[in-house]
Amino acid sequence: MSEHRKIAVIGAGHVGSHCAQALCWRWCAQEIVLIDKEKEKAIAQAMDIADSLSFPAADITVRAGDYADCADADLIFVAIGKARLPGQTRLDLLGDSVKMAKELIGQLSPYSLRGIVVSITNPADIIADYLRKGLHLPRNQVFSTGTLLDTARLIRTIAEKTGMSRQAVTAFSLGEHGDSSMIPFSAIRIGGLPLESYPMVNRAELLERTHGIGMDIINGKGSTEFGIGQSAAFLADAILRDRKAVLPVSVQLCGEYGQKDVSCGVPCVIGKSGVEKIIELPLTPDEQEQLQASCDVIRKHIALAEQIAPLD
Ligand SMILES: NC(=O)c1ccc[n+]([C@@H]2O[C@H](COP(=O)([O-])OP(=O)(O)OC[C@H]3O[C@@H](n4cnc5c(N)ncnc54)[C@H](O)[C@@H]3O)[C@@H](O)[C@H]2O)c1
**Helix/strand/coil (H, E, C) string of the chain?**
CCCCCEEEEECCCHHHHHHHHHHHHCCCCCEEEEECCCHHHHHHHHHHHHHCCCCCCCCCEEEECCHHHHCCCCEEEECCCCCCCCCCCCHHHHHHHHHHHHHHHHHHCCCCCCCEEEECCCCHHHHHHHHHHHHCCCCCCEEECCCHHHHHHHHHHHHHHHCCCHHHEECCCEECCCCCCECCHHHCEECCEEHHHCCCCCHHHHHHHHHHHHHHHHHHHCCCCHHHHHHHHHHHHHHHCCCCEEEEEEEEEECHHHCEEEEEEEEEEEECCEEEEECCCCCCHHHHHHHHHHHHHHHHHHHHHHHHCCCC
CATH number, position 272: 3.90.110.10
Residues 180 and 240 in one domain: yes
In a domain, 67, yes or no: yes
Q: Is 122 in the pocket of ligand 1 (CB under 6 A)?
A: yes
> Does 155 lie in the same domain as 119?
no
**Domain stop point among 144, 173, 201:** 144
pLDDT for 223 = 95
| Residue identifier of the C-alpha nearest atom 34 of ligand 1 | 36
Report the CATH number at residue 18: 3.40.50.720
Q: Final residue of a domain: which of 126, 144, 162?
A: 144
Which residue has the least CA distance to atom 10 on ligand 1?
Answer: 121
In a domain, 1, yes or no: no
CA-proximal residue: ligand 1, atom 39 (nearest): 13
Candidates 14, 18, 136, 177; catalytic one: 177
Q: Average pLDDT by consecutive 10-residue portion of the chain (312 residues)?
A: 86 98 95 98 98 95 98 98 95 97 98 98 98 98 98 98 98 98 98 97 98 97 97 98 98 98 98 98 98 98 98 90
Residue 110 lies in a domain: yes
* Domains in the chain, number: 2
Residue 75 domain flag: yes
Q: 300 with 176, same domain?
A: yes
Residue 79 located in a structural domain:
yes
What per-residue confidence (pLDDT) applies to 3? 85
**What pLDDT is recorded for position 1?**
45
Q: Quote the domain boundaries for residue 243.
A: 148-308
φ/ψ of 119, rounded to 5, equals -95, 140
Residue 15 Cβ contacting ligand 1 at under 6 Å: yes
Are both 27 and 122 inside the same structural domain?
Answer: yes
Assess whether the C-beta atom of 80 lies below 6 angstroms from ligand 1: yes
Q: Give the Cα separation of 269 and 258 in Å (integer).
A: 19
Q: Residue 312 has what pLDDT?
A: 85
Overall size of the chain counted in residues: 312
Helices 14-25/226-240 angle, 10° precision: 50
Domain identity same for 110 and 235: no
Are residues 104 and 207 both part of a single domain?
no
Q: Within this chain, do residues 161 and 285 fall inside the same structural domain, yes or no?
A: yes
- Find residue 260's DSSP bridge partners: 254
Check pocket membership of 149 for ligand 1, CB cut-off 6 A: yes
Ligand 1, atom 42, residue with closest C-alpha: 83
User: Do 180 and 254 reside in the same domain of the chain?
Assistant: yes
Asked whether residue 181 is domain-assigned, the answer is yes
4 catalytic? Reply is: no
**Same domain for 173 and 106:** no
Ligand 1: residue of 120, 173, 177 to mutate (most ligand atoms within 8 A of CB) is 120
The amino acid at residue 45 is: Q
The predicted pLDDT at position 117 comes to: 98
- Ligand 1 pocket, residue 79 CB under 6 Å: yes
Looking at residue 153, its amino acid is R
Same domain, 116 and 218: no
Specify whether 272 is located in the same domain as 175. Answer: yes
Instruction: Tell me, using a 6 A CB cutoff, whether residue 115 lines ligand 1.
Output: no
